[in-house]
A and B are shown apart, each in its own frame.
Chain A
Amino acid sequence: MEHIPILKVGDFLLVTIQVDMHDRLVMQLQDDVCQRVVKDKAKGVLIDISSLEVVDSFIGRMLGTIATMTKTLGAETVVVGMRPAVAITIVELGLKLENVHTALNVDRGIALLQSLVYQKDAMQ
């Protein structure tokens, strides 16, 4: 069974998608991220899509679902590195990604995750 690698970095999980994912792999990633959030007690998930040449409605839905699922488990998700051509295309496609935090690159994504998680920690 193929898997997208998930790396643990401190309190965060780092997912770098480097292949053109077929639909089963997309569904597998959804499951894997949720399992790992619980297993590693992660507070945040960073998904780097800078290698993705296409985000269609199926992959877009997966990103939204991962964000919602991890939030339900108590972890924030930030998607980083979207290519300009992909951004232009998904807006025309009608994909909104409204519930997904995004950042330009990994550095800014980590900073955003830290602020999201830190704010939440401070409130508790």
Chain B
Amino acid sequence: MIVVKTEVHALHSSDDITMVRQKVRKVMQEAGFSLVDQTKMVTAASELARNTVIHGGGGKVSINVVENDGHVGIQLIFSDKGPGIPDIDKALQDGFTTGDGLGLGLGGAKRLVHEFAIDSKVGQGTKVEIIRWR
């Protein structure tokens, strides 16, 4: 897999969550994704960006256009240096929430994409990577 294009944005406030939605939408439109694909990825991005801002205490997102054997995909990497997630399996379950959300953030985002990877260390931070292929 090669990265064709990359952009990085800081995530610190609720305005940044809106900004990420717009940036991801634009990159996906330019890469020729369907409207449903765009909507799924933008929704996943919104959930994960909110996690980074609220639970991770802020961080950043890389928006990458990637290619693998001629297939085009969009990869998003959210990272923070927050408290980390002690029990990832539990955090992925629907209805699990430590904030005032619905507890659909992580699990919901995972269902909206083709590839999902999470790496979290307590006291060091969390990194979530998602990809949706065209």
Q: Is the CB of A85 within 8 A of B36?
A: yes
The answer to whether the Cβ of B40 comes within 8 Å of any Cβ in the partner chain is: yes
Q: Nearest-CB distance from A67 to chain B (Å)? A: 14
Check B15 against A93 for contact (C-beta < 8 Å): no
On chain A, the residues within 8 Å of B22 by CB distance are 20
The docked-state distance in angstroms from the alpha carbon of A29 to that of B54 is 20
Task: Digitize A56-86: 1 where CB-to-B-CB distance is under 8 Å, 0 elsewhere.
Answer: 1110110000000000000000000001111
The dominant DSSP class at the B interface is helix
- Number of A residues whose C-beta is below 8 Å from B? 24
Q: Known contacts A22-B18, A56-B46: does B25 contact A89 (CB below 8 Å)?
A: no
| Separation of A23 and B35 alpha carbons in the complex (Å) | 23
Task: Beyond A53-B42, A89-B112, A93-B111, list 17 extra A-B contacts (CB 8 Å).
Answer: A20-B21, A20-B22, A21-B18, A22-B14, A23-B14, A23-B50, A54-B42, A57-B102, A84-B36, A85-B35, A85-B38, A86-B39, A88-B40, A90-B43, A92-B111, A93-B104, A95-B108
